[in-house]
Amino acid sequence: MKIQKVKKGILPVLLIAALYGIPFCVKNQYMLRIGVYVCIYSILACSLNLISGVCGQVSMGHAAFYGIGAYASALVAIHFGINWVVCVIAAAIAAGVIGVLIGIPALKLSGGYLVICTVGFGELVRLILLNWVSLTRGPMGLVNIPRPVLFGVTIKSGSQYMVVALTLFLLIYLILHNILNSKYGRNLKAIREDEIAAETMGIHVHREKVIAFAIAAAMAGAAGSLLAHYMLFISPTIFVGDFSTNILSMVVLGGMGFMPGSVIAATLLTVIPETLRGLDKYRMLIYGFLLIGLMLGKNVSWETTALGRWGAGIWGKIRQRRGLKEGDGKV
Partner 1 sequence: MLLEVKGMNTFYGNLHAIWDIDIQVEEREVVALIGSNGAGKSTLLKTIAGSIPMERGSMVYDGKSFGPGYGRKASMMVKMGMTLCPEGRHIFPRMTVEENLKMGGYTRKKGELSAGYDRVYSLFDRLKERRSQPAGTLSGGEQQMLAIGRALMSSPRLLMLDEPSLGLSPLLTEKIFELILEIRNQGTTILLVEQNAVSALSVANRGYVLKVGHITGSGTGKELLESQEILDSYLGG
The SS3 assignment for 147 reads coil
Least distance to partner 1 from the beta carbon of 191, Å? 10
Q: What track of x and - describes contact with partner 1 for positions 256 through 285 (by CB under 8 A)?
A: ------------------------------
Q: Does 201 bind partner 1 (CB under 8 A)?
A: yes
Nearer to partner 1, 144 or 301 (CB): 301
Enumerate residues 6+ apart whose C-beta is below 8 A from 303: 309, 312
C-alpha 298, offset from chain centre? 20
The residue (of 11 and 196) whose beta carbon lies closer to partner 1 is 196
- With CB under 8 A as the contact rule, which of the stretches 25-33, 158-166, 200-208, 268-276 interacts with partner 1? 200-208
Q: Is 51 in the site for partner 1 (CB under 8 A)?
A: no
Could you give the 3-state DSSP secondary structure of residue 149? strand
Asked if 180 touches partner 1 (CB under 8 A), the answer is no
Minimum gap (Å) between residue 198 Cβ and partner 1: 8
Residues binding partner 1: what is the number (CB under 8 A)?
17
**DSSP letter string over 23-83?**
HHH---HHHHHHHHHHHHHHHHHHHHIIIIIIS----S-HHHHHHHHHHHHHHHHHHH---
- Calpha distance 87→90 (Å, rounded): 5
Q: How far is the CB of 193 from partner 1 (least distance, A)?
A: 4
Q: How far is the CB of 196 from partner 1 (least distance, A)?
A: 5
Nearest residue (CB) to partner 1, 116 versus 201: 201
Q: Are 37 and 190 in contact (CB under 8 A)?
A: no
Q: How far are the Cα atoms of 11, 67, 236 from residue 223, in angstroms, in the given order?
A: 26, 9, 16
Which C-beta is closer to partner 1: that of 77 or that of 208?
A: 208
> Judged by CB under 8 A, does residue 203 bind partner 1?
yes
Residue 14 touches partner 1, criterion: CB under 8 A? no
Q: How far apart are CA 109 and CA 132, in angstroms?
A: 29
Q: Cβ 7 to partner 1, closest distance in Å? A: 23
Region from 67-75, 193-201, 221-229, 282-290 binding partner 1, contact rule CB under 8 A: 193-201
Identify which of residues 85 and 194 has a Cβ nearer to partner 1 in the complex: 194
Residues with Cβ within 8 Å of 158's Cβ and at least 6 positions away in sequence, in order, are 23, 29, 32, 33, 35, 36
Q: Is 190 in the site for partner 1 (CB under 8 A)?
A: yes
Query: What single-letter DSSP state applies at residue 138?
Result: G
Give the footprint of partner 1 on this chain (CB under 8 A): 186-187, 189-190, 193-194, 196-204, 327, 331
